[in-house]
Amino acid sequence: MSKYTTEVFDSAIDGSKFVANKIKALIEKNNAEGKKTVLGLATGSTPVKMYKELIRMHNEEGLSFANVVTFNLDEYYPMEKNSEHSYWYFMHENLFNHIDVKPENINIPLGNLPQEEVDQHCLDYEAKIDAEGGLDIQILGIGRTGHIGFNEPGSELDSVTRQVTLAQITIDDAAPGFGGVENVPAKAITMGVASVLKARCIYLMAYGENKAQIVSDTLTNDITDQVPATYLQKHSNTVFVLDTEASSLLPA
């Protein structure tokens, strides 16, 4: 029996504000109690409007991220931090440079380590999430393969942070930003399905017509490793935040 809920909004802006408000409420509650907030964050076009809203809340409403710890889902491999294609760069441009999060509280998998150091880095990343007390909120987008993070079809329920090979659809979708498929890294480091499911609360955002099919596959299929987002049906506190277009193929 699935326990997820869906929230459908007229626009991506409205959905993004809904999620930003949830994050704000938790941070403010924890700040008032002198507690940290641990956020799992995502890249891609989907969360950008939500990050803009968090920045606005910081600037106009005094929302402080000084007690927030962040863990990003994934990073390309190989990838230098300062490359304009890195998720490190993306997160700083779209969020971190505009708020008061402490640099030492930002965690993003490193794409620039020698191959022989990658496995240990993944173990350390997973352990650090646990050491911080686990993720209070995990933000997700969804790829057309049904990936969450870079957990492509075939990813297992008990998978943890690890190096993976990207699916061809994912490479094709990334190609325009990289100036051609040949420039897209073949691999990535990603938190696993189990790492994501450990979060106490998950918001998966999907906006636009091109997400309608995978959203429908995710919510109407049984759990299958061929659509990794279906694993979210196992989670006790996941909200699918959709706009009208992304929800258009769901049964009425």
Catalytic sites, residue numbers? 152
Query: By CB neighbour count within 10 A (0-12 exposed, 13-18 middle, 19+ buried), where does 147 fall?
Result: buried
* Residue at shortest CB range from ligand PGA: 44
**Site map 41..60 versus ligand PGA, x via CB under 6 A:** ---xxx--------------
Residues within window 14-43 making contact with ligand PGA, judged by CB under 6 A = none
Report the residue number, 141 or 185, with the smaller CB distance to ligand PGA.
141
In this structure, how many other beta carbons lie within 10 angstroms of the beta carbon of residue 182?
8
Neighbours of 129 (CB within 10 A): 21
Residue 142 binding ligand PGA, by CB under 6 A: yes
In the complex with ligand PGA, the residue whose CB is nearer, 39 or 142, is 142
Residue 80 or 173 having the CB closest to ligand PGA? 173
Per the CB < 8 A criterion, the answer to whether 153 and 227 are in contact is yes
Q: What are the E-state strand segments in the chain?
A: 5-9, 37-41, 68-72, 74-77, 106-107, 137-140, 162-165, 187-190, 202-206, 238-243
Closer by beta carbon to ligand PGA, 40 or else 105 = 40
Nearest approach in angstroms of CB 124 to ligand PGA is: 24
Distance in Å, CB of 5 to ligand PGA, minimum: 20
Q: What is the largest CA-CA distance in the chain?
A: 50
| 185 is a site residue for ligand PGA (CB under 6 A) | no
